[in-house]
Amino acid sequence: MYIVPSGLVFDESYINHSLGPGHPESPERLRAIRKILNNNGIIKELIDINPISDRDFITEAILRIHSGSHIKSVIECGQMAEPIFLAVGGVLAAVDAVMTDKINNCFCAVRPPGHHAHNHGPHCDGWFQGEGFCFFNNLAVAARYAQTIYNCERVLIVDWDFHHGNGTEWAFYDDPSVFFFSTHSLHTYPMTGFPNRTGEAKGRGYNLNVPLRPGAGDKEIITAWQRQLLPALEKQNFKPDLILISAGFDSRKDDYLGNFTISDKGFTRLTEITLQLADTYCRGRVISLLEGGYNPAGLARAVYAHLKSMYIHCKVENIVA
Ligand SMILES: [Zn+2]
C-alpha cells in the first residue's frame, strides 16, 4: 500500500494582495479559507507545496500565453506585481509536484485569480485593476507548462466559476490539445460564453460553453457535467493527461457577485466526477486553482468541501491500489 497525498499551495503574499479597501476580491477570502482548513485539521494532512519564486523562470512560462508588453505592464504595477507572479509560481510548483508523483492532486489557494486575463494590460491606478480582477491566466500558463515540460499531450480544463472563463477560451480557442469546458452565467461580466462558441480551425469541438439559468443549482450544473462534458470528451476521443479545475466559488449560493445556488454538496459531486475522469485517463492527476468566490464564509465552506473530497478520494484510491 502506498499513499500519494493531496497538496496545498498557499502563501502569505497571496493574502496580502489587495486591490483597495472594500474591493470584493479581498484578503478576507483567503483568511476565511485558512481558518476553516486549520479548524478542521485537514491542513495537517496536506503536503505543503511552495510556490516557485524565480521571476525569470515564471516569466518564461507566462510568455507561452501572454505578450511581453502585457508582462511589462504588470511589472509596472510595482510592489503589487509580486503576488501576481507568485500566483503563477504556485501553480507551476503544483504542476511539478503532481507530474513527478510527489502528490496526486493539489489545490492552489492563490490570489489574484486568472481566468479572465488576456493581453490587455492592467490599469493600476483605478479601482478595477486587471481584467475581472485577473492579471495573468494562472491556469492557462500551467496547462502550457505541463505540455512543454512534462509532454502532457492533452489537457482538460473545467471551469465552474459563475463567470465565463473568457481568458482561457481565448488562449486555446484554435487548439485541439486543450479542451475547455465552462458552466457560467451569460448575463454578467464578461458577457461571453455562448454555446455556439465551439472553437475554430483545428480547435473546433474542443471548446464547450454551457450557460446556466439565473438561480441554477446542483441539479443543473451536475447535469451539465454528466450530459454535456462527458459525452463531448468521448465524441472527440479526448483522453486528458492532466485535468485542471478553474475552481471559482462565486457560483455557490449566497455569493455577493453571483446568483447561482450551488451547494457545498454540489461542489463535492463536481469534484468527484472530475476525479473519476482523472482516474480513468491520467492516474488521478488533478490541479485545482482558486478563481472567484466573494462571500468569504461561503467560499471557505465550499473550498473545504472541495478539498476534502480531493483528499479522501486520493486516500481511498491509493488504499485500493
Ligand atoms: Zn467569477
Per residue in 219-277, pLDDT (tens digit) is 999 999 999 999 999 999 999 999 999 999 999 999 999 999 999 999 999 999 999 99
- Compute the distance from residue 293 Cα to the ligand 1 centre, in Å: 7
pLDDT confidence tier of residue 295, bands split at 50, 70 and 90: very high
Counted domains in the chain: 1
- Compute the distance from residue 292 Cα to the ligand 1 centre, in Å: 4
Does residue 1 lie within any of the structural domains?
Answer: no
pLDDT confidence tier of residue 132, bands split at 50, 70 and 90: confident
> 254-264 burial by CB neighbour count: b if 16+ within 10 A, else e?
ebebbbbbbeb
Rounded CA separation 78/55 (Å): 14
CATH number, domain with residue 114:
3.40.800.20
Range of the domain at 174: 6-320
**Number of helices and strands in the chain (H, E):** 11, 8
- Residue of 116, 164, 306, 313 marked active site: 116
- Compute the distance from residue 261 Cα to the ligand 1 centre, in Å: 14
120 flagged as catalytic = no
Does residue 193 lie within any of the structural domains?
Answer: yes
Single out the residue of 278, 211, 274 nearest to residue 246, CA to CA: 274
- Compute the distance from residue 100 Cα to the ligand 1 centre, in Å: 31
| pLDDT reported for residue 1 | 38
